[in-house]
A and B are shown apart, each in its own frame.
Chain A
Amino acid sequence: MFWIKLGLVSHALAAGALTGAVTHFALVLRHAARGRPYPRLQRLYPAVALACFGVVYVLGSVIYPTYRVDVRAAWLDDHSPAMSVLFDLKENLATLLAPLLATMAVLARTEDPAKPSRVLRWASLAVLLGVWFDLIAGLLVVSARSV
């Protein structure tokens, strides 16, 4: 159980770092669109976000079976079905965010930092909203019951 708890805490820390990276990226992209680019940061944040997503994904995959049996089946489905659904929603939306995160990382390295494309701005906004939703959903589920 200690390793599962450690995995959950590390999963949460990596998710926090991911949220910070995508939020900072959205902010520097906004500056770039207004004519004040930060080329180094515009390349750094998406790479950090993608690395954090990898850590979050792997750790989440490791603790997921324990959650499914000891938390969802044993308690959430009966006592708090809305939280059970919220968790599944967060997991599935995270899967859909992955290609957009990869897009951010690729386009940030190949585009002119002073002229971010519409695709890059759209992807970063979608990722920003999705990651914040997932972070808040994860905190709500853990506050109800955790591994």
Chain B
Amino acid sequence: MSARARFATGAGTLAAAAVYLVTTTTRAGLIYYLPTRHSWTFDPPSGVIAMDWFARSNATLLAGALVLGLAWRFAPSNERRLARTAGGLWALAATLLGWGAAYTVMWLVSRI
């Protein structure tokens, strides 16, 4: 049970970190909210306040939750293999999370 939980949460965290990193670095496929017009668009006009946080954040959370559920459902039955894979997933997830945090800090600090 415990190895299965570590496997599923590792996979979910890895998916969330990957989606966060891709959407933050590329802005690919993001929908923007225009708070002054109360509307959504994939192609924000210049000179208008556009917020990408909603799409980026919700995509990250959704990917994490979805993959966590799928990984729990389809986890390998071999306990030893499960524990080994969970360790690998968590190492990768921690790396991507750290990378995402470091990229965010550098990207935002460069705005000052």
Docked-complex contact B60 and A95, CB < 8 angstroms: yes
For the complex formed, measure the closest distance between the CB of B90 and the CB atoms of chain A, giving whole angstroms. 6
Nearest residue, chain B, Cβ from A89 = B108
The count of residues in chain A whose C-beta lies closer than 8 Å to any C-beta of chain B is: 33
Within the complex, which residue of A99, A110, A111 is in contact with B16, where a contact is CB–CB below 8 Å? A99
Tell me if B85 counts as interface (CB < 8 A to partner A). Answer: no
A106 surroundings in chain B (CB, below 8 A) = 5, 8-9, 68
Say yes or no: A73-B49 contact (C-beta < 8 A), given A89-B104, A98-B16: yes
Question: CB of B31 within 8 A of chain A?
Answer: no
Evaluate contact between A82 and B5: CB separation under 8 angstroms. Answer: no
Where the two chains meet, the residues of A that have a C-beta atom closer than 8 Å to any C-beta of B are 61, 64-66, 68-69, 73, 81-82, 84-85, 88-89, 91-93, 95-96, 98-100, 102-103, 106-107, 109-112, 117, 119, 122, 126
**Other A-B pairs beyond A68-B35, A99-B60, A99-B93, 14, CB < 8 Å:** A68-B51, A82-B112, A85-B111, A92-B108, A96-B17, A96-B97, A96-B100, A100-B13, A100-B97, A103-B9, A106-B5, A107-B5, A119-B90, A126-B97
